[in-house]
DNA sequence: AGCTAACCGAGACGGTACGTCCCGTCTTGCA
DNA sequence: TGCAAGACGGGACGTACCGTCTCGGTTAGCT
């Protein structure tokens, strides 16, 4: 008995409506801030009923996260041979995306904000974030890191610096910062240094 | 001519109303989340007209930041003699506050969220954050750090790790993490290592 | 091609909400004065969102006028054979309604007040008033009135006396007054008198 | 000792403040409607504290009634020899005032409205109105009117017509109307007609 | 070919909070 | 004590969105 899952009766989900909603979200986010976005505005912009949004998503954060994931390219970190170079390259790419043409940075900030205010959204956003953390872990794993606890802390420090600057805006996300992060990461990982703990 | 600064005409600001509002905010935050807080509820809880809130603050974020600043003890970082120890002590104290009895952590998350959504609030929150960054810089300044750029990045990495974990909640803010941060900071600062840049 | 008038899209107006609002208005007006009435109280009493009121009416005056029109019985003026008798009967009925059980008088006063304070409401109230004026004109038209100008003035004098007493309250709206109005109207209409203008 | 009434201690009432308030009211009423008037605006316009208004008046209606009484000329009705002529002259003057340069009409409408909404103001406004009614009674008293009840009704009909048109605005307050009122009043008073009641 | 269920757009619904306006009262310091 | 200034507790305003619900109409797969 291969498959008892009956194909559900009734009309199928409209692909047109789905992409219209996702694109309307991004289109509105180009014109106004995340805070000014509303599900009503998305529905209106997309030429779609509000129910069609709430049928498939929970709220605007959910929609935007979906839209972002859809359009987001994975940050590709070329292998440079050294941990310093790999980290530097990873964050140069990350920073470029955050500063990017379509203003991914502001949207990320909005989603992070929503994750703080909406307990139901938090795990969904955390899952999205986890993919990025995993990517950085993958980069660091190319090189010997003595301790799991230190590796975890290092990932948090590196991404933390990124988010901290992104959210507070007290300093720019420049290639120079990426370089410095690479250098400090290399030292912190104890590249070539006997750990004397 | 002693002082030409005339005392402004009219009734003085009521200190009772001010503290009633600040305490009502904190009282409500003990019972419900920051997202569920509203200016109307604060006014009602404080037995105060809404206008009295809007006369002196812009929104709930402003009120809560004020209340938090009022009640916040400065994180005291004892001198331990080593950079590692100082950083470790600083973040042990910081983590303790964030986990603290009155739930400072969730409130900080709410304020950070608000700073992302309300452009007018962002600089006020950034100023609050800046006092904490300055404190950490003061701690690091006890020890030789070669480069201003690296110092700045190190501060962002350390506080970034704190905020990153606080906001995402993927890992705990334990003394063990504080210890690891101290260790990595010491290495990153190049303690005893010739910088070969 | 029978009918191109498409039914408008979307959910239909709720008849329950409409009558709940109108009845809540009247219910509240039985307990408190028109001035003390508020749209918020109506919404609360009716178990309805405020927006549902503002979607279909402009303010409380609009709602109350609607409610009044809904429940108002047309004043029926029996034919008595003479102008004096007809006018007398008309105003006996009118006075009875104004003194009436459900306190139509106070509500009329409130609406008249609103018409003075709200330029947008004035024409709606005037239209309501016009139906009453037309009724009286109909009564007078049963009898020969020499001049349109005098007819118009007579109508204004008769209704004016009613409103003047209703609004100022310096004299009662008794059947005796209705009788006197009938008598004066008959004389003013020049019953049996050659007009020598 | 005839008078123990001590002259009250403290500063005397400021005449400047009083006239400033009354003139500010009229000045504002020239620019905006009665409904848009507020005590706060009067105080601001007069350069006066709000308390100074509330010390001597109850609300804006009280102030405006005072200002109106202050500036109002009594309507003078010349004796013409006939009841018709006297009434006509009286209402020509009355209409002229209502249409007048400073827009007395709209202000009267506002006060009448207020009298409906504010039970405390109603008797004060009624007293003001009574002076006008007494004036018209005086005019009619020059001529023989058979019955007190009819005299009273006639006054209400005449003033009623005036107020009815003023409040509803369905017809103009022209000299022609004054003439018609005079004519109908004369007939109603039974000028030369044997009352056969 | 019809049935039926789920989809779709539109938009009204009950509800919450917003930020503003004005009320009438009170406090403050000066005249 | 009066006065200008203006903060205070309070109440209602009219608006914006929330997330849910009804409409009438459309689009499939299953009988």
For the segment A32-52, what is each residue's pLDDT rounded down to a tens digit? 999 999 999 999 999 999 999
* Contacting residues of D for C197, CB less than 8 Å apart: 183
B79 vs D77, more confident: B79
Interface of B with A in 28-47 (CB under 8 A): 33-35
Q: Are B30 and B109 members of one domain? A: no
pLDDT at B185: 95
Q: Are residues D126 and D183 in the same domain?
A: yes
Asked if the structure places residue B165 within a domain, the reply is yes
Last residue of a domain, one of A5, A35, A59: A59
State which residues form the domain around D149.
72-188
Domain shared by B80 and B127, yes or no: yes
- List pLDDT tens digits, range C105-159: 999 999 999 999 999 999 999 999 999 999 999 999 888 876 889 999 999 999 9
Same domain, D44 and D89: no
Question: Is residue A197 one of the residues assigned to a domain?
Answer: no
Contact present, A and B (at least 3 Cβ pairs less than 8 Å): yes
Confidence (pLDDT) at B121: 98
CATH of the domain at B139: 1.10.357.10
Smallest CA–C1' separation from A38: which nucleotide?
F17
Domains contained in chain D, number: 2
The answer to whether residues C140 and C189 touch, using CB atoms and an 8 Å cutoff, is yes
Burial D108-139 (b: 16+ CB within 10 A, else e): bbbbbbbbbbbeebbebbeebbeebbebbeeb
Min Cα distance A69 → chain B (Å) is 18
Residues D33 and D111 in one domain: no
> Has residue D9 been placed in a domain?
no
pLDDT in tens, D27-49: 999 999 999 999 999 999 999 99
Contact C117 D110 (CB under 8 A): yes
Query: Touching check for B19 and chain A: CB below 8 Å?
Result: no
Q: Is residue A179 part of a domain?
A: yes
CATH of the domain at D37: 1.10.10.60
Do at least 3 CB pairs under 8 Å connect C with D? Answer: yes
Q: What CA–CA distances, in Å, run from B73 to A176, B93, B97, B104?
A: 35, 11, 9, 11
Mean pLDDT is lowest, of A163-167, B51-55, B144-148, D6-10, for: D6-10
Residue D128 near residue C131 (C-beta atoms within 8 A): no
Are A84 and A176 within one domain?
yes
Phi, psi of B30 (to 5 degrees): -75, -25
Please, what is the angle between helix A15-31 and helix A39-46, to 10°? 120
Same domain? For D42 and D114 the reply is no
CA of D55 to C1' of E30 (A): 19
Return the structure tokens found at D134: 């007494």
Which has the higher per-residue pLDDT, D140 or D1? D140
Residue at A195 is within a domain: no
Q: In which element (H, E) is residue A155 found? A: helix A148-168
Q: Are residues B56 and B85 in the same domain?
A: no
B neighbour chains, 3+ CB pairs within 8 Å: A
* C129, C175: one domain: yes
The pLDDT value given to residue C2: 45
Evaluate whether residue B160 is within a structural domain: yes
Task: Answer whether C116 sits within 8 Å of D113, measured CB to CB.
Answer: yes
Note the CA–C1' distance, A18 to F28, in angstroms.
18
Q: Is the CB of A8 under 7 A from strand E?
A: yes
| C134 has a chain D CB within 8 A of its CB | no
C195 domain residue, yes or no: no
Q: Chains meeting A at 3+ CB pairs closer than 8 A?
A: B
Residue A4 covered by a domain: no
Please identify, among A59, A82, A113, the residue that sits at the C-terminal boundary of a domain.
Answer: A59
Alpha carbon separation from D129 to C167, C168, D124 (Å, rounded): 11, 8, 9
Q: Which residue in A178, A185, A188, A195 has the most chain B C-beta atoms within 10 A of its own C-beta, making it the best mutation to test that interface? A: A188
The answer to whether residues A84 and A112 belong to one domain is yes
Q: In the block, which residue shows the tokens 């018709």?
A: D84
Mean pLDDT of the region A127-133? 94
Contact A181 B34 (CB under 8 A): no
Q: Which residue is nearest to nucleotide F2 (CA to C1')?
A: D11
Residues 152-171 of C with CB under 8 A from D: 152-154, 156-165, 167-171
Statement to judge: residues C115 and C148 lie in one domain = yes
Q: Are C163 and D163 in contact (CB under 8 A)?
A: yes
Distance (Å, whole) CA C181 – CA C159 = 10
Min distance B150 CA to chain A CA atoms (Å): 6
In a shared domain, residues C54 and C78:
no
DSSP B194: -
Q: Is B187 on the interface with A (CB under 8 A)?
A: yes
Q: How far is Cα of residue D173 from the mean position of the Cα atoms in its chain?
A: 16
Least confident of B149-158, C93-102, D102-111, D183-192: D183-192
- Does D150 contact chain C (CB < 8 Å)? yes
> Helix count (H) and strand count (E) of chain A?
9, 0
């Amino acid at each position: 008995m291969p498959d008892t899952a009956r194909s559900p009766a009734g009309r199928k989900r409209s692909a047109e409506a789905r992409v219209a909603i996702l694109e309307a979200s991004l289109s509105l986010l180009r014109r106004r801030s995340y805070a000014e976005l509303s599900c009503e505005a998305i529905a209106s912009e997309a030429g779609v009923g509000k129910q069609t949004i709430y049928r498939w998503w929970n709220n605007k954060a959910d929609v935007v996260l979906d839209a972002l994931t859809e359009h987001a390219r994975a940050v590709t970190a070329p292998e440079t041979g050294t941990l310093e170079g790999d980290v530097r390259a990873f964050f140069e790419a990350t920073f470029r995306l955050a500063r990017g043409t379509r203003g991914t940075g502001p949207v990320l900030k909005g989603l992070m904000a929503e994750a703080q205010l909406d307990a139901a959204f938090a795990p969904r956003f955390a899952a999205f974030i986890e993919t990025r953390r995993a990517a950085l872990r993958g980069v660091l794993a190319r090189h010997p890191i003595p301790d799991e606890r230190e590796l975890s802390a290092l990932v948090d420090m590196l991404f933390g610096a990124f988010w901290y600057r992104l959210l507070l805006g007290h300093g720019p996300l420049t290639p120079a910062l990426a370089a410095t992060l690479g250098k400090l990461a290399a030292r912190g990982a104890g590249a070539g240094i006997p750990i004397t703990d």
